[in-house]
Amino acid sequence: MKTEGASSSERAGILAREFARRAADHDRHATFPFENFEALKNAGLLGLTVPVEYGGRGAGLLETCEVLGAIASGDASTALVLAMQYLMHATIARSPTWPPHIREMVARDAVEQGGLINALRVEPELGTPARGGMPATTAEQVADGWRVSGHKIYSTGIPILSWLMVWAKTAEAEPRVGMFLVPAKTAGVRIVETWDHLGMRASGSHDVIFERALISHDYAVDVREPSAWAVRDDVQAAWYTIAIAALYNGVARAARDWLVTYLTERTPTALGAPLATLPRFQEAVGEIDGRLLTNRVLIESAALRTDNGSPPPATESGLIKMTVTTNAIAAVERAVELIGNPGLSRANQIERHLRDVLCSRIHTPQNDSILLAAGRAAFKAHDERGERP
């Protein structure tokens, strides 16, 4: 497939059409789309957020959102794994703690070999660390490195990952917490194929068991006192919320496009004309387009602010993610409501879009956490200003 000379978003759009042709089969059988990542590698898109000095594009948040939205319109599961790749490399590029030689090794692996990376944070007992608590996964320092032991769930992309950023605590009297880089092929790393969810079925988000997996000393890439992780980072918050919002907005756009085609082609015998000629359906599509326009403006504005060095406050980024994903869900639900039974038939891709877009509700940060943080920030700002009724 020719993508030479095309922009990153144009290449993503070309690939998305290819991915869409096999998305239903991967979704139905919950199989991992390895071929999609080979295509992404060949198109030079796996290193999008890798710094230029390591051979990547060094893309900003806006360009990243454009690519993720395009890929998600073809296959949301592929876009989710790709989003984690982009977010990890954007984070690594900004991190002051990563040893330079480790940073370069992982970055060049992405560009030259197509190596993928993701953070493994969630655990059966802990849940998501975004809500607090210490991980049960431990890293014990030994003579020749660290021994990592624990159980991670929802390990998105694990069938293809080369590098695992494992959230763990040190086995010390006063534990530190942080990220330990574990090569996926390390002895003592075991995948348990548990992923069988309603949406994002092809994302390969299985469990991973670590049984005293040995890594070198310098693979403890970002380990801090627990309190140090509470410091707010507006840039990172923007990347992690806006990029994910763009992904789910891409799913909603695909559902909208499918709906328009369906309404244009569907001609009931009693009507003698396409459904698209009826004001009821025209108004509904206008409603959907209004939601998606709102989403686009919010995503582009926040991404541009971030790229220009003035990211939104973390609370605002969270509210943008909530607004965009709420609109995306409402848009797809409205489309399904409009057409009735065909919208829930597995013969039509829109039912997959519905299942996938619903995953945005449980994607960190979740709405209750977003609203709580925003409310607390509002009252804090009020108290700091000393305002009185």
Is the pLDDT at 151 greater than 70? The verdict is: yes
- 104 and 126 fall within a common domain: no
- 355 and 250 fall within a common domain: yes
- 93 and 161 fall within a common domain: no
Res. 3 pLDDT band, cuts 50 70 90: low
- 179 and 241 fall within a common domain: no
Rg (CA), the chain: 22
Is the pLDDT at 11 greater than 60? The verdict is: yes
Q: Indicate whether 385 belongs to any domain.
A: no
CA dist 48 and 105 (Å) reads: 16
Is the pLDDT at 319 greater than 70? The verdict is: yes
- 103 and 148 fall within a common domain: no
Is the pLDDT at 131 greater than 80? The verdict is: no
Q: Indicate whether 46 belongs to any domain.
A: yes
Question: For residues 40, 42, 44 and 46, what is the CA-based torsion angle, rounded to 10 degrees?
Answer: 40
CATH number of the domain within which 169 lies: 2.40.110.10
CA dist 361 and 325 (Å) reads: 7
pLDDT of residue 126: 82
The total number of structural domains in the chain stands at 3
Is the pLDDT at 389 greater than 60? The verdict is: no
- 240 and 147 fall within a common domain: no
Structural domain of residue 82, as residue ranges? 8-114
CATH number of the domain within which 43 lies: 1.10.540.10
CA dist 36 and 140 (Å) reads: 37
- 179 and 156 fall within a common domain: yes
Cα dist from 47 to 51, 56, 61, 318, whole Å: 8, 5, 14, 26
Mean pLDDT value across residues 215-222: 97
Find the angle CA(349)-CA(350)-CA(352) to the nearest 5 degrees: 70
- DSSP sequence for 176-201: -EEEEEEETT-TTEEEE-----SSST
Whether the CB-CB separation of 301 and 226 falls below 8 Å is answered with no
Closest CA to 299 of 240, 239, 247, 246: 246
Q: Indicate whether 262 belongs to any domain.
A: yes
- 243 and 331 fall within a common domain: yes
Q: Indicate whether 39 belongs to any domain.
A: yes
Percent of residues, the chain, with pLDDT higher than 70: 98
- 218 and 139 fall within a common domain: yes
Of 189, 215, 230, the residue that ends a domain is 230
Average pLDDT, rounded, for the chain: 95
Of 114, 136, 168, the residue that ends a domain is 114
- 73 and 152 fall within a common domain: no
- 61 and 126 fall within a common domain: no
pLDDT of residue 127: 65
Whether the CB-CB separation of 68 and 81 falls below 8 Å is answered with no
Of 98, 114, 130, the residue that ends a domain is 114
Q: Indicate whether 165 belongs to any domain.
A: yes
Task: Give the strand pairing for 163-170 and 117-120.
Answer: parallel
Mean pLDDT value across residues 165-181: 96
- 109 and 218 fall within a common domain: no
